[in-house]
Amino acid sequence: MYRFKIGDYVLYGVSGACEVVDIGKLEFGSNDKIYYTLQPYYDSRDKIYVPVDREAEIIRKVIEKKEAEKRLPTIKKSKIKGKIPAREECDVILKSGDMDNVTNLIRQLREVKHENKKNHKSLNIADAKMLTYAERMLYSEMAIAMGWTMDQAAAELSECLG
């Protein structure tokens, strides 16, 4: 028995929310393993293949609408806590899928981006990528939970995140 089933929405790394579209052997490559085939919500043309024996890499199922509705006011009202963590800790935050920590990371990176803009600078490449990944995770999960498109999620959440 597998932890996830076809039709489930899950969080997978920096790809954010993905739908499990198939479970089975691949038609290409190694034919002896069973894989989850994931389709990222933000890009319907992409596919990700995760061996079932490494399903622990899939963070968790996407939250339900009731949970998203409870979290939305918190996301909108939360304030920046602390300073941007070291790169390794940012990776840990993203891999954890903890919505509060991901939201805080977005706020921190956006604050740096805003401050840099005042000085006619931009975010460094690593921070810009981290911001993109964090936004993708938050927006895609909330989009699925709330029944929004990615654009709607970005519009709804972007302004309140700073």
pLDDT at 64 over 70: yes
Cα(93)–Cα(112) distance, integer angstroms: 18
pLDDT in tens, 66-88: 999 999 998 988 888 988 889 89
pLDDT in tens, 87-126: 899 999 999 999 999 999 999 999 999 998 898 999 899 9
User: In this predicted structure, what is the pLDDT of residue 26?
Assistant: 86
Cα dihedral 46, 68, 8, 35 sign: positive
User: In this predicted structure, what is the pLDDT of residue 29?
Assistant: 66
Neighbouring-strand partners of residue 37: 22, 49
Cβ 84 vs Cβ 105: under 8 Å: yes
Write the CB contacts of 16 (distance below 8 Å, at least 6 apart in sequence): 40, 41, 42, 133, 136, 137, 138, 139, 140, 141
pLDDT in tens, 1-54: 789 999 999 999 889 999 999 999 887 766 788 999 999 998 888 999 999 999
Q: What pTM was computed for the model? A: 0.90
pLDDT at 154 over 70: yes
Cα(60)–Cα(56) distance, integer angstroms: 9
Q: What CATH fold (topology level) applies to the domain 9-61?
A: Thrombin, subunit H (2.40.10)
For range 132-146, the mean pLDDT: 96
Cα(22)–Cα(20) distance, integer angstroms: 6
Cβ 36 vs Cβ 4: under 8 Å: yes
CATH 1.20.58.1290 residue window(s) in the chain: 65-161
Q: What CATH fold (topology level) applies to the domain 65-161?
A: Methane Monooxygenase Hydroxylase; Chain G, domain 1 (1.20.58)
| Backbone torsions φ then ψ of 90, nearest 5 degrees | -60, -45
CATH 2.40.10 residue window(s) in the chain: 9-61
User: In this predicted structure, what is the pLDDT of residue 5?
Assistant: 96
